[in-house]
Each structure stands twice: as structure tokens, then as C-alpha cells.
Amino acid sequence: MSQFLHPIKCQNCNGDIKLDLDNLASYCPYCGSQLMIDISTLQTVLLEREKTKRQIRNAEIRLEKQKDENKNFTIMWVTYFIFILILAAGGGLYLLFSK
């Protein structure tokens, strides 16, 4: 199933068709006639496809960035926690040996 679908009407029977943008040479499922796609529709369709692809790509990039940010956030807190542990251990040792 293609994710690039564009609604058009059959010139022969006026049936509603979802044009598969990955396979532009299509036939009407109602009357079987070959669909004639005019150039402006084709341009719209191709622009839509590019836009959809770009949106998907952008969403993927955003997701990657989010993952990286989460990773950095975890690393920051682990580092902070280790730092606090070292401070606490140092403080404990100081208390132990200063008496």
C-alpha cells in the first residue's frame, strides 16, 4: 500500500479514485478505463509526493534529534550522580580520618 495517495475523478464514469502516486499509470477500478492525468494534476501530485517525503524525512530527523537529546540528558544525570557520589565519599573519608 502506497503512502502517497491523491484523490481524482475518473473522466469516463466520474468515480472517485485514489491515485497511487508510486504508480501513476492507473486504471479506473469502476469502469476499467485508463486514467488520463492532466499535467497540472500531475504537477500537484508530484509536489504533494515530494512534500510528503520531506515531511516524513523531517519527522525522522526530529525523532533522531529527540533520541540524541534524551541520551545527552541521561549522560548528564549519570555524570552528575557520579560526581555527587565522589563528593559524598570524599566527605565521608574526611570525617572518618579527621577525628
Site string for Zn ion, 37-76 (x = CB under 5 A): ----------------------------------------
Question: In the chain, which ranges are E strands?
Answer: 5-9, 16-20
Interface with Zn ion includes 12 (CB under 5 A)?
yes
* Residue whose cell numbers read 497540472: 40
The span of 13-21, 55-63, 72-80, 85-93 binding Zn ion (CB under 5 A) equals: 13-21
State residue 23 phi and psi, 5-degree precision: -140, 80
Residue 22 contacts residue 1 (beta carbons within 8 Å): no
The span of 4-12, 42-50, 78-86, 89-97 binding Zn ion (CB under 5 A) equals: 4-12
Distance from C-alpha of 24 to C-alpha of 10, rounded to nearest angstrom: 14
Sites of contact with Zn ion (CB under 5 A): 10, 12-13, 15, 28, 30-31
